[in-house]
Structure formats: structure tokens, C-alpha cells
């Protein structure tokens, strides 16, 4: 990059964008013009990279979420230009870190599903595979989280308030998407996805919903001002917010429209590009591999069949093309998350698509009868049943591959949850254990640790081949090396302490154990088990002055879905514990609790490197994989967790002795679930009884209308949709406490504790998304890596 040219561009963009000289701009504006200047260098490389895949089979990733995080540092790291640009800005008297902080996180995702999609895009570009991401350009993200009196309050995430320097609006690529009651324009915004080294730059194409007729002049002239912009508002609502509240039918309709909107637009895009070079669709599946990231884009199966039908392809042939084109990733075994849509809603909004689903269902039943499935058993496989469309069933039947995202998860799918499907189509089922990109989660998030690794290994090859980390294990017995590792960890803890003080107003002890649980707020992830343990420790400290614990800082980060009342009550409960514990001087700061506000990728990049303990405490068999567990591991934190998801494989790699595994296994839960009585369990556990009673006995300073009674009832009485203590919080509590006591005891021997942490880091090679993408590319998509720009 030419420094003089970059500087000149920055001055030009300052004038044309903000009407000011560069030196007079604030940090947000400086970030914007600097990013635009960098984009000018990226664009020609991007175009050249796309051309090298012409005529080759390409892969496409359909996902409702892409949790990208900030782009500036990630792009400069992958272009190998970060230090050069930092020096250039320093020469101009500009603090690069201030520009970095000025960038908003892209509001395009919420949890692991969206972050996985982002890691996959990074890995595919780094490995020189063509992978295009397709999704929605949410104007206001999922939401910006604020805490008011301990409660989560949602407001719009205005991440686009100053535009997006990294995206290009492609007016020439827009398409129409039609519902029964509405037609909208899908306008794509393209963002470059830069692979490490810059040889391949792929595309994230996000669709924005706009009106066909933006303004009704006649209505306006008649002074009906609301009607004049009604079509505009109705169209734009489709791409306003990720996962709108769907507690009422209006919300359900909006969610259904969102799913169909981005799927239809994306498939129309593929078909249009295909037709430029081909007169028919015989080789469509040989040129296009489309991955469905969970069931949100499952409507892609009937939609492709419908679109191909419009091109003159027979239903039977179109269905064959769809199966050969599509592959499906299953992310959950939770029955409530195996998506279903009401037939009534589909008929109301997507009647033509519904007709195709009926034909698919009939084709499937005929095929299964031919396979020897009895008439009686056929109903178990019905895509349309009891007034609902089973999107997971549609996804399995309508694709050639169904994969789980950790070996345990895939085994559960094959052996129990999807057993009947597996017996019918064993060749379609496979495992692809999730991974994370080391470029963002180590090189960017923890540069000192990255430099340390490079120094020990003598090269940077691990940045694109994380398996090389295993070579670090030979240093695990070297106390001097572990000492350097500890120094890096402590520096990150100090940075986090200062950031939390500035951001959250809580002063934490940097020498305490940083015990961190950061993930989506859901009951099965059992943030409440963590909270119960904190309250248990607090009670013991109050009751017994001789009770000695290693000082501990418990850090939470999570958003609860706006309509998920119980999850929001858990957030309030944890914040109430923080209020109680943090303000009690009698416990001498031995416990501190922080629930960080508006947790996202950028906050995560500060939290993972500073963690001493990784909380992965979901009920065994409920977490498909997890990727936070991998990020903690990569940054040198042992796991305290159950044998669930990828925890199983983490322990296989790093050793049981270097982690803290507790609680019921999947098999044990299966044995006791029908006879389990949490009330009886609680009666045998006085300390836990006191903790649970604190939900309703006045321990917390709540307003008269506030109560945690529903939380307590969910554990002891259950609800119409689940049994008491459905996630075995009470049953696993003692085992969790015991594991935590072991953590506290081990932490007293700093050298040995951090030796475990070092071994975890050195064992993280398997969990690179590079490995995962290689498996997708070779075993599902059958695409080639092209390492030069010349075909």
C-alpha cells in the first residue's frame, strides 16, 4: 500500500464525505475515511480474485446470521498490512487504537451460529476456496442491550449510522421477491472477505429489502401521509431487525418473510449468473454447492424447485438438482428449536411455495414406501403433519448431506433424535466438528500471545496451520516458558480490569480467578447454575468467617431474546446477585460479579484472552458443539464443563487432567430422567435449598411487583411445556461445586495451574475452522482450492 496515496485519499474522503479537513475530524469520521482509503486498494484485488474461480464449482453459505465483528484490524491483518498502517497513522499523529474502537460491530448476528458463519468465510478465503455468504443486511442488528435496574432493555443497534465503508451497494444485482400480499426489491450489499495473505478475496452478499414504489405521490397529495410511505415502511421492515419478536402472528409473518426473502433473492442470483453461460440446468449442481446453516434457510429446497420450474425444468428433475445442490447443517437437538411453520401461515404468505412442499412430501412418501417403510410408520417422516411444516425433515430429505457440528452431537442425531432418518439415508449423515479462525481469535485478539507462539515455533506457519501448535507441548515442562505465558495472561487480565472499570464501573481484582461465561442466554446453557454457585459461596462467606476461598471474579456476557421472559429473568437474577455481593464490604472483595453490557464480538476479543476458567456448563446432550469453548482454549483457559458438545473433543485433545469436567453424562440423564424429582433432591441439600429459597424469601431488594417466583417454579414445579428442573441444575449442583473447589485449590499453585492452561492452548490445533472448511470442501461441496489469480 502506497502511504502517500492512502494519505491523499483520506484527505479527499474527509472533504467529500464530511466537508472537513482530515485533521479536524473526530475518531469515528477518521475511521470512516481511513477505511474508504483502504477499500480503494482492496477493490481491484477483490475483482481479480473472483475472476480466478470463473467456470469452477463454487460454494455458497445461506445463513440468517453472520456475526462478523469489526472489519478494520481483521482486514489489515489478513492483508499483512497492519503494522505498516499503524506506523503510517502514527506518523500523522493518529492513534490507531482510537480508530479501531470507533468502528461499530456489524449487527448481523447473535450467537455461535452466526460467529461460525463468519469464521467459515475467513477460513475459506484463507484456504483459497470460493465461498460466498448470503444473508440479510439487518439495519438495526438484533438489538443494543442496556441494563436498567438490572433488567435487559433492548434498543436499536444503529451500527449503520455512519454508513458502512466496507460494503458496496450493487444496484445492478437487485431482484424482486414476491409474497402473496407484497412484492419487494432485494438490493445486495457486497462486503469483501479477505483471506490471510490476500490471495483470495470472497464475498459476503447481504440483501436489503426496499419498496418497489418508495413514495405514493397521489396519497401524499391527498394528505394521506401515512399511506404515502406505507409500502416503503412495510418493505423495509423485512430487513430491519434480526429475529423479531414472534410472540404474535405479525411477528411470525415477519420472520417467515425474512427467511424467504434472503433465500429467494440468493437463489435468483445464482440462477441469473448460471444462465449467463449455460442454456440449461443439467450441470447446475456440478457448479453450485449450497450449505443451509440450520433450518432458517430450509425454504431454499422448495424455492429452488419452484424457480427451476419457471425455467421449464420438470418437478422430478428440479428436485434431483435441489438434492444434489443442497447440504444441511443441523445445529441443535432441542425439539423446540427444530423449526416448524404452520401450514396456515405458508398458505397465507407463500402459497406457491406451499404447493411445492406438498409435492415434495408426496414424493418422499412414495419413495419411502418403495424403501419398505410401512404405511403406519410413514407419518413419522411426514414433512407436513398436524398443521405444521417440519423444516428439519424438509432439510434432511431435500439435501444430499446432513451434518452435526461435534462428534457427540452427530452421534446423538444418528442414534436417537434422527435415528429413523439415519437408518433410511445413512450415506447422507456425517460429522463436521466446528472450528474458529485463529486469525481473529488469537492474532487479532491476543497479539502478544501470537508473537510468543511465533517466537517459540520459529515461524508463522501456525497462522494458517493451527495443528502446528502441538509442537508447543514440548515446552510445557519448562517453567521459564510457562512464566512468560503467565506474564502475557496477567497483562490481558490487567487490560480487561481497566476496560471493565471504564465500561461497567466495577473495580475487579486482577489477581483473582477470572471465571467467565459468555454466550447466548438460554436455560440449557445454565447460567443459573453458575449464579447459584456464586450465591452459595456468598452465603458461606457470610456464615463462616473462617471459610477461605481463592478470590474470584465471575464475568457474564449474554443477550436474551426479546420474547424469552425466563432468560431475561435470569439476567435480572444475576445482576441482583452482583448488586448484593459487590456492595457487601464484609466479604472483603473475595467475590465480584460483572454482567457486561451489550456483549458482542469486540467485547469477546477482550474477554477470551483474559480468562482463567472457561464456563461450558450446559446440560449434557443439549449443546450441539459450542465455539466459545474453543476460543477460551486457544487463549489458554481450562474448561469447567460437562461432557457436552465439543467439550468431549477438547478433553480428548488436552487431557482430562487439564480440565474440570463434572456432572451427569448423556447416558446417565437418559437413565434417570423419567424418575427424577428435583424437590426430593433439594431436600437432601440444605445449602442449595437456601440458595433456591433466596429467589423468593426477600434476600434481594426487589420492588413489590418484581419476583423470581417463576424461576423457582420452573425448577420445582415445571411448566406446561417442560418437566421440573428440565436441565438438571439441582442434580448437577454438588458436582459443579466440587469441580469449582478444585479450580480454586489448583489456582493457589500459579505455575501448575497455568501449565494446564498452556497445554490447553497447545492442544487447540484441531479446532481451527480451517480444518472444518477443508472437510466441508472435500467431503460435501467437492470444490477446488485455487491459489493463484491465473486460472
Q: What is the pLDDT of residue 335?
A: 67
| Residues 630, 436: Cα–Cα separation, whole Å | 7
CB 212 within 8 Å of CB 222? no
- Residues recognised as catalytic: 331, 519-520, 525, 627, 631
Q: Which DSSP symbol is given to 178?
A: E
| Cβ count within 10 A of residue 653 | 18
Give the DSSP letter string of 693-727: HTTTSS-S---TT---HHHHHHHHT-BTTB-TTTT
Confidence at residue 791, expressed as pLDDT on a 0 to 100 scale:
38
For cell 438490493, the residue is: 187
Locate 109 and state its grid cell.
448476528
Query: How far is residue 696 CA from its own chain's centroid?
Result: 34
- Chain centroid offset of residue 348 CA: 31
pLDDT at residue 790, as a whole number: 45
Q: Is 767 helix (H, G, I), strand (E, B) or coil?
A: helix
pLDDT digits (tens, 9 = 90+) for 539-566: 999 999 899 899 999 999 999 999 999 9
**This prediction's pTM:** 0.96
Whole-angstrom Cα distance, residue 582 to residue 220?
A: 57
Residues 768, 762: Cα–Cα separation, whole Å: 12
In SS3 terms, 68-114 reads as CCCCHHHHHHHCCCHHHHHHHHHHCCCCHHHHHHHCCCCCCCCCHHH
Q: In the numeric block, which cell numbers belong to residue 683?
A: 431436600
Per CATH, the homologous superfamily of domain 438-669+696-708+723-767 is: Glycogen Phosphorylase B; (3.40.50.2000)
Extended strands (E) in 607-692: 613-616, 639-641, 660-661
Pairing outcome for strands 384-385 and 340-342? unpaired
Cell numbers representing residue 156 in the block? 436499536
496-527 burial by CB neighbour count: b if 16+ within 10 A, else e? bbeebeeebebebbbebbbbbbbbbbbbebbb
Buried b (16+ CB within 10 A) or exposed e, 670-706: eeeeeebebeebbeebeebebbbebbeeebbeeeeee
Query: Residues 644-703: pLDDT tens digits?
Result: 999 999 999 999 999 999 999 999 999 999 999 999 999 999 999 999 999 999 999 898
CA 440, distance to chain mean position in Å, is 14
- Cα separation, 787 vs 575, in Å, equals 51
Residue in 136, 117, 120 with CA at minimum distance from that of residue 206: 136
The two beta strands, 340-342 and 388-390, are antiparallel
Report the 10 Å Cβ neighbour count for 282. 11
Q: How far, CA to CA in Å, does 598 sit from each of 53, 416, 438, 501, 560?
A: 39, 37, 24, 15, 11
Q: What 3-state class would DSSP assign to 655?
A: coil
Count Cβ atoms within 10 A of the Cβ of residue 751 and give its class: 0-12 exposed, 13-18 middle, 19 or more buried. Answer: exposed
> CA 232, CA 217: separation in Å to the nearest integer?
12
Alpha carbon dihedral 259, 435, 567, 154, in 10-degree steps, equals -60
DSSP codes, 482-520 = HHHHHHHHHHHHHHHHHHHHHHH-----TTSEEEEEES-
Low-confidence ranges of the chain (pLDDT < 70): 335-337, 789-791
Which residues on neighbouring strands pair with residue 427, listed in sequence order? none
- CATH architecture of structural domain 52-69+105-434+775-781: 3-Layer(aba) Sandwich (3.40)
Measured CA to CA, the distance from residue 268 to residue 466 in angstroms comes to 38
CA distance 530 to 642: 13
Domain-by-domain residue ranges, the chain? 52-69+105-434+775-781, 438-669+696-708+723-767
HEC per residue, 681-692: HHHCCHHHHHHH
Dihedral class, residue 88 (left if φ above 0, else alpha if ψ from -120 to 50, else beta): alpha
- The confidence score (pLDDT) of residue 337 equals 64
- E strand or H helix at 334, and its extent? none
Question: For cell 431475561, what's the residue?
Answer: 568
CA separation for the pair 503, 516 (Å, rounded): 17
Residue 144: CB partners within 8 Å, gap ≥ 6? Answer: 154, 155, 156, 157, 158, 598
Longest dimension (CA), the chain: 82
Burial (CB count <10 Å: 0-12, 13-18, 19+), residue 1 = middle
- Which candidate, 423, 727, 409, 706, places its Cα nearest to that of 575? 706
DSSP count for the chain of H helices, then E strands: 34, 21
Amino acid at each position: 500500500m502506497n502511504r502517500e496515496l492512502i494519505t491523499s485519499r483520506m484527505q479527499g474522503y474527509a472533504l467529500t464525505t464530511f466537508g472537513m479537513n482530515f485533521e479536524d475530524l473526530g475518531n469515528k469520521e477518521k475511521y470512516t475515511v481511513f477505511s474508504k482509503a483502504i477499500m480503494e486498494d482492496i477493490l481491484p484485488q477483490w475483482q481479480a480474485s473472483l475472476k480466478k474461480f470463473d467456470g469452477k464449482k463454487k460454494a455458497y453459505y445461506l445463513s440468517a446470521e453472520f456475526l462478523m465483528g469489526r472489519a478494520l484490524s481483521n482486514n489489515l491483518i489478513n492483508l499483512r498490512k497492519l503494522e505498516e498502517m499503524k506506523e503510517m497513522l502514527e506518523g500523522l499523529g493518529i492513534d490507531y487504537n482510537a480508530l479501531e474502537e470507533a468502528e461499530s460491530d456489524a449487527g448481523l448476528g447473535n450467537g455461535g451460529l452466526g460467529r461460525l458463519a463468519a469464521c467459515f468465510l475467513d477460513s475459506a478465503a484463507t484456504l483459497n476456496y470460493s465461498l460466498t455468504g448470503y444473508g440479510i443486511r439487518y439495519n438495526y442488528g438484533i438489538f443494543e442491550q442496556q441494563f436498567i435496574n438490572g433488567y435487559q432493555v433492548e434498543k436499536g443497534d444503529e451500527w449503520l449510522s455512519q454508513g458502512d465503508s466496507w460494503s458496496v451497494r450493487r444496484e445492478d444485482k437487485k431482484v424482486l421477491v414476491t409474497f402473496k400480499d407484497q412484492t419487494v426489491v432485494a438490493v445486495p450489499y457486497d462486503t469483501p472477505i479477505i483471506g490471510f495473505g490476500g490471495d483470495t478475496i470472497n464475498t459476503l452478499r447481504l440483501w436489503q429489502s426496499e419498496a418497489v414504489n418508495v413514495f405514493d405521490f397521489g396519497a401524499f397529495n391527498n394528505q394521506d401521509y401515512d399511506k404515502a410511505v406505507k409500502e416503503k415502511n412495510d418493505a423495509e421492515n423485512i430487513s430491519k431487525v434480526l429475529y423479531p419478536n414472534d410472540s404474535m402472528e405479525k411477528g411470525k409473518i415477519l420472520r417467515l418473510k425474512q427467511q424467504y426473502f434472503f433465500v429467494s433473492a440468493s437463489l435468483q442470483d445464482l440462477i441469473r449468473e448460471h444462465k449467463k453461460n449455460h442454456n440449461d440446468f443439467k450441470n447446475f449442481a456440478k457448479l453450485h454447492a449450497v450449505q443451509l446453516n440450520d433450518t432458517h434457510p430450509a425454504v431454499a429446497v422448495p424455492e429452488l424447485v419452484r424457480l427451476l420450474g419457471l425455467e421449464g425444468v420438470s418437478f422430478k428433475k428440479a428436485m434431483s438438482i435441489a438434492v444434489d445442490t443442497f447440504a444441511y447443517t443441523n445445529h441443535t437437538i432441542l425439539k423446540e428449536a427444530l423449526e416448524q411453520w404452520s401450514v396456515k401461515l405458508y398458505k397465507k404468505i407463500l402459497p406457491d411455495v406451499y404447493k411445492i412442499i406438498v409435492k415434495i412430501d408426496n414424493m418422499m412418501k412414495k419413495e419411502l414406501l418403495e424403501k419398505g417403510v410401512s404405511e403406519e410408520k410413514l407419518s413419522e417422516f411426514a414433512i407436513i403433519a398436524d398443521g405444521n411444516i417440519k423444516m428439519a425433515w424438509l432439510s434432511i430429505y431435500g439435501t444430499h448431506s446432513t451434518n452435526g457440528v461435534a462428534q457427540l452431537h452427530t452421534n446423538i442425531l444418528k442414534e436417537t433424535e434422527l435415528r429413523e432418518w439415519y437408518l433410511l439415508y445413512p450415506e447422507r449423515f456425517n460429522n463436521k466438528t466446528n472450528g474458529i479462525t485463529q486469525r481473529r481469535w488469537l492474532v487479532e485478539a491476543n497479539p502478544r500471545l501470537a508473537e510468543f507462539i511465533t517466537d517459540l515455533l520459529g515461524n508463522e506457519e501456525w497462522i494458517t496451520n493451527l495443528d502446528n501448535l502441538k509442537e508447543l507441548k514440548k515446552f510445557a515442562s519448562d517453567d521459564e516458558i510457562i512464566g512468560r505465558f503467565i506474564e502475557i495472561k496477567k497483562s490481558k487480565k490487567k487490560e480487561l480490569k481497566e476496560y471493565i472499570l471504564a465500561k461497567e464501573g466495577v473495580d475487579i481484582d486482577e489477581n483473582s480467578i477470572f471465571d467467565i461465561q459468555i454466550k447466548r442466554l438460554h436455560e440449557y446453557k445454565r447460567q443459573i447454575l453458575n449464579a447459584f454457585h456464586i450465591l452459595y459461596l456468598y452465603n458461606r462467606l457470610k456464615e463462616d468467617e473462617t471459610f477461605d476461598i481463592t478470590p474470584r471474579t465471575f464475568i457474564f456476557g449474554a443477550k436474551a431474546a426479546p420474547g424469552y421472559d425466563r432468560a431475561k429473568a435470569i439476567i435480572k437474577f444475576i445482576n441482583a446477585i452482583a448488586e448484593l455481593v459487590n456492595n457487601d464490604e464484609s466479604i472483603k472483595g473475595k467475590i465480584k460479579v460483572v454482567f457486561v453490557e451489550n456483549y458482542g464480538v469486540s467485547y469477546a476479543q477482550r474477554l477470551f484472552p483474559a480468562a482463567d476458567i472457561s464456563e461450558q456448563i450446559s446440560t449434557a446432550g443439549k449443546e450441539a458443539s459450542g465455539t466459545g469453548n474453543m476460543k477460551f482454549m486457544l487463549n489458554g483457559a481450562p474448561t469447567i464443563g460437562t461432557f457436552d458438545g465439543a467439550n468431549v473433543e477438547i478433553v480428548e485433545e488436552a487431557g482430562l487432567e487439564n480440565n474440570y469436567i463434572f456432572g451427569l453424562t448423556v447416558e446417565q440423564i437418559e437413565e434417570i430422567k423419567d424418575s427424577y424429582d428435583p424437590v426430593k433432591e433439594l431436600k437432601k441439600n440444605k445449602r442449595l435449598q437456601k440458595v433456591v429459597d433466596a429467589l423468593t424469601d426477600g434476600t434481594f431488594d426487589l420492588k413489590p411487583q418484581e419476583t423470581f417466583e417463576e424461576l423457582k417454579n420452573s425448577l420445582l414445579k415445571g411448566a406446561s411445556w417442560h418437566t421440573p428442573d428440565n436441565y438438571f441444575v439441582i442434580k448437577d449442583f454438588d458436582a459443579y461445586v466440587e469441580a469449582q473447589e478444585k479450580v480454586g485449590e489448583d489456582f493457589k499453585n500459579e505455575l501448575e495451574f497455568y501449565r494446564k492452561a498452556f497445554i490447553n492452548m497447545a492442544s487447540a490445533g484441531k479446532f481451527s475452522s480451517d480444518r472444518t472448511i477443508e472437510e466441508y470442501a472435500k467431503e460435501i461441496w467437492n470444490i477446488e482450492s485455487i491459489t493463484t489469480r491465473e486460472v
